Amino acid sequence: MYPALTAVAELRQRCDGLDVRWIGSSGGLEQPLIERAGIPFDPIPALGLRGKSLLATLHGLWTLGRGYRRSRQLIERFGPDALFVTGGYVSVPVTLAAWRAGIPVLIYLPDIEPGLAIKFLARFADGVAVSAPEAQSFFKPGLTVVTGYPVRPELFAGSGERSTEARPAARRRLGLSDELPVLLVFGGSRGARSINRALTDYLEAYLEVCQVIHISGTLDADWVQTRRTELPSPLQDRYHHAPYLHEDMVAALLAADLVVSRAGASVIGEYPAAGLPAILVPGPFAGAHQALNAAYLARPGAALVVEDADLDRLLKDTVFALITNKEKLQLMRQATQRLAQPEAAARLAREILRMGTHGT
């Protein structure tokens, strides 16, 4: 979602009077965020098919059919010059509807490896923009262009000379001290229970050496907050818990010295932009794509990888070996910054405009 929002912001700077509409899933988490960005949101029915029973698969196909008909209506009414797609099952009916109507389609792949939806839809696309060269091998030659992962421009305040000012400012915004390093821990909007448990089981030990920003997700928020109340008062001041961060997420990324997280697509762009070293825990439920995302950062030394099954055994020692070692963190920060692609949003916007103006 955020790469698409960043691309839209770039397009708006380039094109006065640009008319944009966002098609997303009915009842999804994205709608309030999209509307907050000033973009009209049109929901369509859609369901995933992977790993479903026969009955659920049939229901999913029927729902996708409804989504296709609704997409046809929206495209006929809106008359777009191009369709920009970022994946997920909701993209299937709208992409097929645009292809049927002769509308040029550009897919953006944020991960290294495409999911089932993008693998299927690539045959109907006029182009596929990818975050890294490693992703090109999944598509036929000539279809892809490497744009990089577009991130919110304010994240680049964490790189280069500006980082000396950005980090203290971000810490002040979040009520953090400059006296201790900052560990950021999160597992996505819904959270990751294995990461939450691995952190809170040894929470006092972490808080003896660092401050912690813990974004637990909504499902574990209550018991995590209860765990905070059990801490001695001085340690409570070092532990900053929230179910989810919206406007303050950029500040959290800029304030941190080290992050522990899953390896969703955003790590490819946001951590390099912020110059943030990482310990990545690929989700065991996510097929291979999170493992490939983690490897992309681990190969040049920008991240370490801990498997989900090893969290209880390895996470604490891995964090302690880094958070107290400024020299090692600096080497990882430099490796991370070398992966940053500040021109990604501009490249992606140019591809969208080229397709909308000239078709294929």
| Structural domain boundaries in the chain | 2-149+342-358, 153-337
pLDDT classification of 187: cutoffs 50, 70, 90: confident
CATH number of the domain located at residue range(s) 153-337 in this protein: 3.40.50.2000
Instruction: Give me the pLDDT at residue 286, please.
Output: 56
Tens-place pLDDT, residues 88-113 = 888 999 999 999 999 999 999 999 99
The listed CATH number (3.40.50.2000, 3.30.1330.10, 3.20.20.140, 3.90.1150.10) that belongs to domain 2-149+342-358: 3.40.50.2000
CA distance 274 to 288: 25
pLDDT surpassing 60 at residue 51: no
Say which residue, 200 or 67, is predicted with more confidence: 200
Instruction: Give me the pLDDT at residue 181, please.
Output: 97
CA distance 160 to 164: 8
Question: Which of 60-69, 98-107, 217-226, 256-265 shows the lowest mean pLDDT across its residues?
Answer: 60-69
Q: Give the count of beta carbons closer than 10 Å to the beta carbon of residue 74.
A: 17
Planar angle of CA 300, 149, 187, nearest 5 degrees: 75
Domains 2-149+342-358 and 153-337 share a fold: yes
Q: 32-70 burial by CB neighbour count: b if 16+ within 10 A, else e?
A: ebbeeeeeebbbbbbbbbeeeeeeeeeebeebbeebbeb
Contact (CB, 8 A) for 307 and 194: no
Q: 185-197 burial by CB neighbour count: b if 16+ within 10 A, else e?
A: bbbeeebbebbbe
Contact (CB, 8 A) for 213 and 183: yes
CA distance 128 to 144: 5
**Taking Cα atoms as reference points, which of 338, 344, 180 lies closest to residue 255?**
180
pLDDT classification of 1: cutoffs 50, 70, 90: confident
Quote the radius of gyration of the chain (alpha carbons, Å): 21
The model carries a pTM of 0.90
User: Average pLDDT, whole number, for the chain?
Assistant: 90
Contact (CB, 8 A) for 228 and 236: yes
For residue 341, the SS3 value is coil
> Over pLDDT 90: what percentage of the chain?
73
Cα atoms in the Cβ-side hemisphere of radius 13 Å centred on 182:
25
